[in-house]
């Protein structure tokens, strides 16, 4: 049985997360927050969407409640449910209710994965009503102005079953977070993996090469996150080529030819 933490304090972000802005995402997000507008983050996996939310929450000094959506995530997983203990039933708030009650930031990661019935609760929260109806308790919460709803999705997926409806997407302020520019990405990899600039530069070059293969067989190029993983392994003493093979090549594809080609790129650069 799912139990969500009741303590909102745990959701505050204590330390400043490392985040280097790509463009104007921070001022836009702050402006959206000031006006009670919900946020939609678009971008490929590992491009910094979740990290940006952490950074935003830290900047706003609000707790951040993240829900990773999966295809069985239903409304009651978000809103809450009754549990039984010793013959007594008691109500447990779901993450969304918790966020609304405490004026937190509720971040639904990969929202298109969630079941379609979740739109029932997302829609009224995402427009100017800013309301959350808890059907089972007959309660109607109105979100305080500190509350913010944010969702993310990856437009690269081509599944027709995972498309976002117009009625949903037109409620959000959409921010596109793509892979950072090479210079910026280098700094990020350097900092996150704790490796030297030389190696970070090579990793970023490899990533750029794999991104060039996107239309030629790869569904997506190597994300910044993969580069950080590779860097972390290298720092632990794994040989750079091996580290890249296991974190980048094998993560990207199963196709033998592509695996070979990516490995060749890696061995050229490293």
Q: Which residues bind another protein (CB under 8 A)?
A: 23-24, 81-84, 89, 136, 155-156, 158-161, 202, 205, 208-210, 212-213, 215-217, 241, 257-258, 260-262, 264-270
What is the rounded distance in angstroms from the CA atom of residue 245 to the CA atom of residue 227? 11
Nearer CB in complex with another protein: 102/201: 201
3-state secondary structure string, the chain?
Answer: CCCCCCCHHHHCCCCCCCCCCCCCHHHHHHHHHHCCCCEEEECCCCCCHHHHHHHHHHHHCCCEEEEECCCCCCHHHHHEEEEEECCEEEEEECHHHHHHHHCCEEEEECHHHCCHHHHHHHHHHHCCCCEEEEHHHCEEEECCCCCEEEEEECCCCCCHHHCCCHHHHCCCEEEECCCCCHHHHHHHHHHHHCCCHHHHHHHHHHHHHHHHCHHHCCCCCCCHHHHHHHHHHHHCCCCHHHHHHHHHHHHHCCCHHHHHHHHHHHHHHC
Q: How far is the CB of 211 from another protein (least distance, A)?
A: 8
Nearer CB in complex with another protein: 149/209: 209
Nearer CB in complex with another protein: 23/129: 23
Nearer CB in complex with another protein: 12/82: 82
Nearer CB in complex with another protein: 8/91: 91
Q: How far is the CB of 202 from another protein (least distance, A)?
A: 8
Q: How far is the CB of 169 from another protein (least distance, A)?
A: 13
Q: How far is the CB of 44 from another protein (least distance, A)?
A: 13
Q: How far is the CB of 163 from another protein (least distance, A)?
A: 8
Residue 179 CB neighbours (<10 A)? 23
Q: How far is the CB of 263 from another protein (least distance, A)?
A: 9
Nearer CB in complex with another protein: 144/217: 217
Q: Which long-range contacts (CB under 8 A, 24 or more apart) does 256-262 make?
A: 257/217, 258/213, 258/217, 258/218, 261/213, 262/209, 262/210, 262/213
Q: How far is the CB of 216 from another protein (least distance, A)?
A: 6
Nearer CB in complex with another protein: 43/63: 43
Q: How far is the CB of 270 from another protein (least distance, A)?
A: 4
Nearer CB in complex with another protein: 188/261: 261
């Amino acid at each position: 049985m799912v139990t969500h933490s009741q303590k909102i304090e745990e959701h505050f972000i204590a330390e400043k997360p490392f985040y280097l802005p790509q463009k104007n995402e921070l001022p836009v997000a702050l402006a959206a927050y000031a006006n009670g507008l919900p946020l939609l983050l678009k971008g490929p996996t590992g491009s910094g969407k979740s990290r940006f939310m952490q950074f935003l929450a830290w900047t706003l000094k609000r707790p951040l409640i993240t829900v990773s959506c999966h295809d069985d995530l239903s409304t009651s997983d978000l809103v809450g449910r009754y549990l039984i203990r010793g013959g007594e039933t008691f109500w447990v708030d779901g993450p969304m209710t918790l966020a609304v009650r405490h004026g937190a930031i509720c971040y639904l990661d990969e929202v298109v994965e969630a079941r379609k019935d979740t739109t029932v609760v997302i829609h009224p929260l995402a427009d100017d009503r800013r309301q959350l109806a808890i059907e089972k308790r007959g309660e109607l919460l109105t979100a305080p102005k500190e509350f913010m709803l944010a969702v993310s999705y990856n437009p690269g997926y081509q599944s027709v079953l995972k498309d976002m409806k117009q009625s949903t997407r037109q409620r959000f302020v959409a921010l596109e977070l793509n892979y950072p520019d090479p210079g910026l990405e280098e700094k990020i990899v350097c900092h996150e993996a704790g490796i030297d600039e030389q190696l970070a530069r090579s990793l970023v070059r490899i990533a750029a090469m794999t991104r060039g293969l996107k239309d030629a067989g790869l569904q997506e190029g190597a994300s910044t996150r993969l580069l950080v993983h590779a860097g972390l392994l290298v720092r632990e003493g794994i040989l750079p080529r091996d580290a890249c093979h296991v974190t980048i090549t094998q993560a990207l594809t199963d196709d033998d030819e592509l695996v070979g080609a990516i490995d060749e790129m890696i061995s050229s650069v490293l």
